[in-house]
Amino acid sequence: MGPAIVGVAVGASEQEEHATNLSQASSKGHVMDASVTEHCGTCEFWGGARRLSQDRKQLTFAGVGWCNNPASPNYQKQTNPNHGPMNTWQKWSVLG
């Protein structure tokens, strides 16, 4: 089983993120472990707003993004960052 997907607690600063269910995340955004594979938020082709933490361990997302992978069944559709697993996934180059 892969790493956990977590959310940001309401009122928490970006530096003080607290683990909760992604579905329970607040409007502050969503947080995902950067090592999660085969999910939209860590895919090279996902076109949503996302930021990698300074320690390169977590991604923060602002909402949904467009799939830009022509090989994906979600091509030109909006998906949540936690959508997956997808066999057309390719690791986002920023993640190394």
**Quick one: tokens of 43?**
């895919």
Nearest one of 60, 52, 62, 59 to 27, comparing CA atoms: 62
**Quick one: tokens of 79?**
């998906």
pLDDT of residue 30: 87
Would you write out the chain's pLDDT as a tens digit for each of its 96 residues?
455 444 433 333 333 333 333 443 445 578 999 999 999 999 999 999 999 999 999 999 999 999 999 999 999 999 999 999 999 999 999 999
pTM of the model: 0.70
Cβ atoms 67, 74 nearer than 8 A: yes
Cβ atoms 86, 37 nearer than 8 A: no
pLDDT of residue 50: 96
